[in-house]
Structure 1
Amino acid sequence: MTDVIEEYAAKKAEAVAKEATEKAQARNVELAKEFLSEGESIERTVRLSKLSEAEVRELASKLSA
């Protein structure tokens, strides 16, 4: 019985952590879009948004298209 409870708790914790990571990533993307639309450089947007340079460049190309 204890194993079942522990397994459930572990799965629940994993799901909550995954959801938090996904929300943080989505927020970082929105921040990057905002920075880029206000004219911030790719390099500064990478630093401020915590996204990779490739991700920021992809967003920048979509915004300018």
Structure 2
Amino acid sequence: MHVHLADQAICIGEANALDSYLNIDRIISAAQITGANAIHPGYGFLSESTKFAQPLRNKA
């Protein structure tokens, strides 16, 4: 449902979490493609991951 409410949607991978929600490179690439200035990591998945936070700091 959330994707239907969004202004844009970028496919970051298959339904498997390892191919999508846990793929840091794809998430960062999607943010760059859309010109996003923030990423909400959600709950669980990447929200507590330093492996996700560090590349974002390096891009800032």
Larger Rg belongs to: 1
TM-score (norm 1): 0.34
Structure having the higher helix fraction is 1
Instruction: For CA contacts below 8 A with separation 6 or more, give which structure has more relative contact order.
Output: 1
